[in-house]
Amino acid sequence: MTRQPFILRNPSILIVLAVLAAFTVAVTLMSAAYGNGAIPTSMVKVLGKTLCLALAAVAMDLVWGYLGILSLGQMAFFALGGYMVGQWLMYARTETIVAASLAQNPIPATPLELQEAVANQIFGVVGSSDLPLVWTFAHSLTLQLILVVAVPGILALVFGWLAFRSRVNGVYLSILTQAMTLALALWLFQNDSGFRGNNGLSGLQNIPGLEGRDQATLSVWFLWASAAALAVFYVLAAWLVSGKFGSVIRAIRDDETRVRFLGYPVEGFKLVVFTLAAMITAIAGALYYPQAGIINPAELMPIASIYLAVWVAIGGRGRLYGAIIGAVVVSLLSSWFTGGRAPDIRLPGYVVHWVDWWQVALGLSFVLVTLFAPKGIAGIFDRLSGLRAPRRAAPRKQEVKA
């Protein structure tokens, strides 16, 4: 039996890839570094970061929309990815600076002295001068990149194993995921966590080894990398949900007891999807924070993960492209409304400042979507395409028995 490759069987994948490619080319041609400069570098960064958020939303959709676990701790994985890459960025850059200043000394510094000076520089703000254990691999980009997926992956694996094995479900599981990210955030807030407490990691926009490149160039490079990651993992996610695996995880979402009686090890499926999604989210975070320039424990507060869920709900969960639409539309609107550039609405006797009212509007639209468009924005696309082609599943005429 010959089957078309799955990409051809799912035209929506090609559409998403084409739109993504067109978007990336367009931004590049309007960037300061490679184009006419119509889009300022800060905006290129916003767009690049938005692609990372879209990737996190795709992973969230796998976990929530397809597997049915409303995880309210996804941004913990996102931030961990950022922290892992941030450690190398900060260490390597500090090392360059410190080495340059020590080179003034008549006696060349030993590697140990160099390391101490680096530690002093990085941890002076939290009153320490020792390199914490968790920075053991910070000198190596390769090792830290492995940690980007390994740390969130192992955290998800252990957390998932404990939670799924004891069959924690529904709202209890959501609360548990939220507790996980909150606990992690509170731990990171401590000065002796080894991650510089509430200062977090900063200067991440400076990429060691690429000092000769200006931010305008780097911002475009990161945009490309973010777009590439989104494309690759979108296709991976679409492949994952397309076949029998997708069938089984949606079945778990709808009735996991029944799936067990079919002989499927439900916990195993949940673990695979949850862990994979955590790793994808971490990669998104590792690309996001060098564009943001700074990461601190506030990024792990549960509210961030709740926003992610809201984006996916508004975009349309259970549709991968819905997750992208939701993340892009809502996060860009958010930064526009809260950026102070949205015109205030002057009502008689009251002025609606969007900076203050945007959250309320967002919350309201979430409620409205949940009530009136449970399939979100993607549901509108479904309905439009449903108008063009007659429903394949149209009920057939029943034979009339005399």
Partner 1 sequence: MSALLEVDSVSVSFDGFKAINNLSFNIGAVELRAVIGPNGAGKTTFMDIVTGKTKPDAGRVLWGEDSRSLLKMNEAQIARAGVGRKFQRPTVFEDQSVSANLTMALKANRGPFGVLFWRPSATSAARVAELAEEVGLSEQIDRKAGELSHGQKQWLEIGMLLAQEPRLLLVDEPAAGMTLAEREQTTTLLRRLAETRAVVVVEHDMDFVRRLECKVTVLHQGSVLAEGSLDHVTRNPDVIEVYLGR
Count how many residues are written for the chain.
Answer: 402
Nearer to partner 1, 346 or 401 (CB): 401
Q: Which helix (H) or strand (E) holds 346?
A: strand 345-347
> In the block, which residue shows the tokens 């508004």?
314
- What is the residue type of 299? E
Range in contact with partner 1 (rule: CB under 8 A) among 26-34, 70-78, 121-129, 256-264: 256-264
Q: Is 245 in the site for partner 1 (CB under 8 A)?
A: yes
Q: Is 9 in the site for partner 1 (CB under 8 A)?
A: no
> What phi and psi, each to the nearest 5 degrees, are found at residue 394?
-60, 135
How many angstroms separate the Cα of 106 from the Cα of each of 50, 102, 103, 120, 121? 48, 9, 8, 21, 21
Q: Which residues contact 208 (CB under 8 A, 6 or more apart)?
A: 88, 89, 92, 93, 95, 96
**Among 23, 264, 336, 357, which residue sits at the site for partner 1 (rule: CB under 8 A)?**
264
Q: Is 374 in the site for partner 1 (CB under 8 A)?
A: no
Classify residue 394 by its DSSP letter: P
Closest approach of partner 1 to the CB of residue 257, in Å: 8
CA–CA distance, 333 with 254 (Å, rounded to integer): 33
Range in contact with partner 1 (rule: CB under 8 A) among 175-183, 253-261, 341-349, 354-362: 253-261
Range in contact with partner 1 (rule: CB under 8 A) among 106-114, 136-144, 324-332, 392-400: 392-400
What ranges in 73-140 are assigned the alpha helix state H? 74-102, 111-123
Residues 213-242 that bind partner 1 (CB under 8 A): 240
CA–CA distance, 311 with 304 (Å, rounded to integer): 11
Q: Is 243 in the site for partner 1 (CB under 8 A)?
A: yes
Query: Can you name the residues that pair with 352 across neighbouring β-strands?
Result: 345
**Among 103, 133, 384, 392, which residue sits at the site for partner 1 (rule: CB under 8 A)?**
392
Nearer to partner 1, 147 or 249 (CB): 249
Closest approach of partner 1 to the CB of residue 252, in Å: 10
E-state strands within 91-244: 201-202
Nearer to partner 1, 124 or 265 (CB): 265
Nearest to residue 253, comparing CAs of 356, 370, 173? 173
Nearer to partner 1, 161 or 245 (CB): 245
Compose the 109-148 pattern: x for residues touching partner 1 by CB under 8 A, - for all others: ----------------------------------------
Nearer to partner 1, 51 or 266 (CB): 266
CA–CA distance, 181 with 185 (Å, rounded to integer): 6
Closest approach of partner 1 to the CB of residue 13, in Å: 18
Range in contact with partner 1 (rule: CB under 8 A) among 168-176, 258-266, 324-332, 373-381: 258-266
What ranges in 262-351 are assigned the alpha helix state H? 266-292, 302-315, 320-338
Q: Is 3 in the site for partner 1 (CB under 8 A)?
A: yes
Specify whether the CB–CB gap between 308 and 370 falls below 8 A.
no
What 3-state DSSP class applies to 294? strand
Nearer to partner 1, 213 or 250 (CB): 250
Specify whether the CB–CB gap between 295 and 307 falls below 8 A.
no
Residues 268-287 that bind partner 1 (CB under 8 A): 268-269, 271-272
What 3-state DSSP class applies to 123? helix
Q: Is 260 in the site for partner 1 (CB under 8 A)?
A: yes
3-state secondary structure 148-172: HHHHHHHHHHHHHHHHHHCCCCHHH
Q: Is 265 in the site for partner 1 (CB under 8 A)?
A: yes
CA–CA distance, 174 with 154 (Å, rounded to integer): 19
**Among 248, 306, 332, 352, which residue sits at the site for partner 1 (rule: CB under 8 A)?**
248
Q: Is 254 in the site for partner 1 (CB under 8 A)?
A: yes
**Among 244, 347, 387, 389, which residue sits at the site for partner 1 (rule: CB under 8 A)?**
244
Q: Is 168 in the site for partner 1 (CB under 8 A)?
A: no
Q: Is 258 in the site for partner 1 (CB under 8 A)?
A: yes
Q: Is 4 in the site for partner 1 (CB under 8 A)?
A: no
Range in contact with partner 1 (rule: CB under 8 A) among 203-211, 227-235, 325-333, 393-401: 393-401
CA–CA distance, 233 with 21 (Å, rounded to integer): 14
Residues forming contacts to partner 1 in the complex (CB under 8 A) are: 1, 3, 240, 243-245, 247-248, 250-251, 254-255, 257-258, 260-266, 268-269, 271-272, 392-393, 395-396
